[in-house]
């Protein structure tokens, strides 16, 4: 979300961490397994391509609010 951008960018820069915002399919239109699969695919791609986004040494931070927070947990 744009409202979170500055806070997350500051945290990312200070901690050498990549934070990503994932657009996933929503319930109840989609089965929860589809939602988790969307999120898992993005996380796997990000881990395999950290050097494109930042550096191989960067950590990956998972955050979210509302339902997205539950999914990242």
Cis peptide before 46 (omega within 30 of 0): no
Summarize the chain as % helix, strand, coil (round to 5).
Answer: 55, 10, 35
Categorize the per-residue pLDDT at 46 as very low, low, confident or very high, splitting at 50, 70 and 90: very high
**Is pLDDT at 10 greater than 70 in this prediction?**
yes
The tokens for 56 are 């191989």
**Is pLDDT at 33 greater than 90 in this prediction?**
yes
Please tell me the number of Cα atoms within 13 Å of 52 on its side-chain side.
5
Higher-confidence position of 65 and 8: 8
pLDDT at position 20 is 87
**Is pLDDT at 40 greater than 90 in this prediction?**
yes
- Predicted model pTM: 0.78
């Amino acid at each position: 979300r744009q409202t979170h951008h500055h806070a997350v960018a500051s945290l990312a820069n200070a901690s050498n961490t990549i934070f990503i915002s994932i657009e996933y399919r929503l319930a109840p239109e989609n089965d929860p397994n589809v939602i988790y699969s969307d999120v898992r695919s993005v996380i796997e791609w990000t881990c395999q391509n950290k050097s494109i986004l930042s550096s191989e040494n960067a950590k990956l931070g998972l955050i979210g609010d509302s339902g997205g927070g539950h999914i990242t947990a």
